[in-house]
Amino acid sequence: MALLQIAEPGQSSAPHEHRLAIGIDLGTTNSLVATVRSGLPEVIVDESGRALLPSAVWYRADHAPVVGEVALAQRITDPRNVVVSVKRWMGRSLSEIDSLADLGDSGPRSPVQVSAEILKTLRERAEQALGAAPDVLGIRHQEITGAVITVPAHFDDAQRQATKDSARLAGIPVLRLLNEPTAAAIAYGLDQQAQGRFVIYDLGGGTFDVSILQLSRGVFEVLSTGGDTALGGDDFDRTLFDHLAGLVVPGALPDLTLSVLSDADTSALRVESRRVKELLSSHAEVQVNCALPSGRRVEVSVTAAEFEKMSAALLARTIVTTRRALRDAGMQASEADGVVLVGGATRMPAVRRAVADLFGREPLTNLDPDQVVALGAAMQANLLVGNRAPGEDWLLLDVIPLSLGLETMGGLVERILTRNTTIPAARAQEFTTFKDGQTAMAVHVVQGERELVADCRSLGRFELRGIPPMVAGAARIQVTFQVDADGLLSVAARELSTGVEASVTVKPSYGLGDEAIAQMLTDAFGHAEADARMRSLHEQAVDAERLLLATQTAIEQDSALLSVADQALIGQRMAELSELCETLKDADALRAGIAALSAATEGFAAARMDQAVRQALAGRRVEDLDTNV
């Protein structure tokens, strides 16, 4: 008799078969891959025992790209064909990136393609270590089931989609995109069985993220998140680079440095700047004696105190963002149960002191800040493929970093999903038509915290056609926003009486600048009061236009009910209100203009109602009316 193979829900039906899953931290400066073996997460090293893979790709004419240490070493000898820090350009098109527009004989490469080369190298490293690589006959006896790839919490939809596209090009099946702070919390929280509210301070090579998480009995709930996608260790390197460049070319301003130095000199000085920064994390003073390819030299002593002064403004930006995230979570810094440092840049003593001063406690640093994100990603991947042990389970409740909504009349934003909404999430809201007989509606999806569409980021557009012609306001159009666990958005619109619908999976063209992303929340807070006034003004303008349209339609249909004097008065009030709508300066004046036109049309409206009642009752008997009551 054949037996059914039975397994616990979520576990493999063949317990002896361990599904191969990996976690990948695709970083700005370095990337790495991890997995879970014998129940413990570990980083996978290369043949030389190195865990970190430099996120550098060297493109050579007529040769396959080279990734890692060898590519990084070519920054000085062949700088125009080596791409570094590509993560900062994710979500942008090739035409917008001057630094990637010319890669010598190899031709241009997009950030997606460059990232794919890095991911491919990590995949191959994992396959070799896990026995998933083809044997001498080219046969794969077991394949990697999937990967969890981490992204900054503040990556927007375009950047997340670009990351998934890179993984697809690299031949990696993506189980999920996971926010980096959440991955770090998994690595810490499950290892230490932590409970309470924790702050994840993540300062990587190119981005800064901070998340406030509530950890309780295997539930990871993100209370708030903040960040800056244009701030990271690279920027601290840049402060030293500017300082040293000024010594190579006396009197040169930082913004003129690149035009004064050759490509080779610039690359050499950038490498030296990073070396000095890393040494200053453990030394009070570092001697710089650097010979540049051009023959020029820079000889100087740099102290830790000098470096901290140079980079103080950068560090202050991280603290401001952290305070904002705390405010969003409704808590004080002193109420945090722990602070976790993530990212290689957190090794800088000034960073650790600033975080300790803010929270009044020493941050947790017992896990390698370079590896903690990959370890957490590996643990999540292991769980998603069903390799969980009895009782090993947790729930991730992440959030969206920026509000999502659509454009309404007057160029206003109607938010459907507000920032810090837990994902996966779905929400539907009903809208209606503005004009009589309207049979189509344009749906414009936007992202941001401002009140006007012009101040937010456009994500996508589509049209809903086939709406039954009705009077304005009668149609019922339901618009549904859905954000999946990866933070990717889909939008659908449906006319409820007929069932006609249209939808879009938001895959915006890669075109949002890093500076624009970093400024979105800052602008929202800085312009909150002005935005509220502007929204009120535009709302009054929409109400005024609706009243003008309704009045004009009524006059065209029943002008016989108006006396010459009434018609003149209404015309005057309409002209005054139209002028206010055109100038669009004063919400109170618009409100007064609406009231004046409404008062002028009161008699007209009553006469039209009386006429409608008479027409409805014409030819009917009193007995019939009584029967129907």
Residue 619 gets the label, from left (phi > 0), alpha (psi -120 to 50) or beta, of left
- Whether 157 is in a domain gets the answer yes
Which of 355, 372, 397 terminates a domain? The answer is 397
Spatial CA neighbour of 179 closest among 362, 506, 400: 400
Q: What are phi and psi of 426, to 5 degrees?
A: -145, 140
Same structural domain, 352 and 468: no
User: What distance in Å separates the CA atoms of residue 3 and residue 14, rounded to the nearest whole number?
Assistant: 13
Q: Are 227 and 374 members of one domain?
A: yes
To the nearest 10 degrees (0 to 180), the angle between helices 233-248 and 312-329 is: 160
The verdict on 97 and 111 lying in the same domain is yes
Q: How many helices (H) and strands (E) does the chain have?
A: 17, 25
Quote the CA–CA distance of 58 and 267 in Å, as a whole number: 14
Co-location of 334 and 295 in the same domain: no
Q: And the tokens for 63?
A: 């040769």
Q: Are the CB atoms for 510 and 162 separated by under 8 Å?
A: yes
Are 65 and 179 in the same domain? yes
Half-sphere exposure of 408 (CA within 13 A, CB side): 21
Q: Say what the pLDDT of residue 474 is.
A: 80
51 touches 62 (CB < 8 A): no
**What single letter denotes the amino acid at residue 497?**
S
Radius of gyration of the chain from its Cα atoms, rounded to whole angstroms: 31
Which CATH number goes with the domain that contains 352? 3.30.420.40
CA proximity to 143, closest of 47, 19, 24, 25: 19
Angle CA(66)–CA(69)–CA(75) in degrees, nearest 5?
80
Query: In sequence order, which ranges of 81-110 are alpha helices (DSSP H)?
Result: none
Q: Which residue has the tokens 């996966």?
A: 424
Q: 3-class secondary structure for 50-94?
A: CCCEECEEECCCCCCCEECHHHHHCCCCCHHHEEECHHHHCCECH
* DSSP symbol at 449: S
409 and 489 assigned to the same domain: yes
My answer on whether 502 and 559 are in the same domain is no
Q: How far is CA 365 from the centre of its chain?
A: 27
Give the tokens for residue 540: 């009054």
Instruction: Of 415, 465, 406, 405, give the one whose Cα is nearest residue 440.
Output: 465
Nearest to 512 by CA among 145, 298, 229, 142: 229
Q: Measure the CA–CA gap between 223 and 488, rounded to whole angstroms.
A: 19
Helix or strand run (H / E) with residue 205? none
* Separation of alpha carbons 185 and 178, rounded Å: 11
In this structure, what CATH number is given to the domain that contains residue 474? 2.60.34.10
How far is it, in rounded angstroms, from Cα 267 to Cα 212?
38
Of 19, 155, 145, whose CA–CA distance to 512 is shortest? Answer: 155
Nearest to 57 by CA among 109, 105, 92, 128: 109
Report CA torsion sign: 469, 471, 476, 480: positive
Q: CA-CA distance, 339 to 395, in Å (whole number)?
A: 21
Cβ-in-10-Å burial (0-12, 13-18, 19+) of 258 comes to middle
CATH number, domain of 270, equals: 3.90.640.10
The torsion angle over the Cα atoms of residues 322, 211, 324 and 335, rounded to 10 degrees, is -80
Q: State pTM to two decimals.
A: 0.63
446 is a domain residue: yes
Of 223, 222, 215, 221, nearest to 193 (Cα)? 215
Q: Fill in the amino acid letter for 368.
A: D
Query: Per the domain annotation, does 4 fall within a domain?
Result: no
**What's the total number of domains in the chain?**
4
Q: Which residues pair with 623 in a beta bridge?
A: none
| 122 and 91 co-located in one domain | yes
Phi–psi pair at 43, nearest 5 degrees: -80, 140
Q: Is residue 165 part of a domain?
A: yes
Helix ranges (H only) for 475-527 are: 514-526
Does residue 6 form part of some domain?
no
Q: Report the C-alpha gap between 11 and 392 in whole angstroms.
A: 11
Nearest to 162 by CA among 239, 96, 107: 96
Residues belonging to the active site: 25, 87, 180, 202
**Which residue range is the domain that position 154 belongs to?**
20-232+314-397
Q: Do residues 73 and 56 make contact, with C-beta atoms less than 8 angstroms apart?
A: no
d(CA 253, CA 251): 6
Structure tokens at 297: 């030299």
Say whether both 506 and 550 belong to one domain: no
The stretches of 385-513 forming alpha helices (DSSP H) are none
Structure tokens at 107: 């031709």
What CATH number does the domain containing 594 carry?
A: 1.20.1270.10
Check whether residue 348 and residue 456 sit in a common domain.
no
**Which of the listed residues 397, 419, 447 is the one where a domain comes to its end?**
397
Q: Which residue is associated with the tokens 């149960």?
A: 337
Residue 522 belongs to a domain: no
Q: Which one, of 382, 390, 349, lies nearest residue 187 by Cα? A: 382
Choose the final residue of a domain: 345, 373, 397: 397
Whether 82 and 203 map to the same domain: the answer is yes
Cα 414 from Cα 301, distance rounded (Å):
56
Helices (H), 396-465: none
Instruction: Work out whether the CA dihedral 467, 470, 472, 476 comes out positive or negative.
Output: negative
Tokens at 623, concatenated:
């007995």
Domain-located, residue 108: yes
Q: Which residues of the chain have pLDDT under 50?
A: 1-16, 99-106, 136-137, 190-191, 251-259, 508-521, 524-525, 627-629
Task: Give DSSP secondary structure letters for 162-178.
Answer: HHHHHHHHTT--EEEEE
Are 182 and 326 found together in one domain? Answer: yes
Asked if residue 413 is part of any domain, the answer here is yes
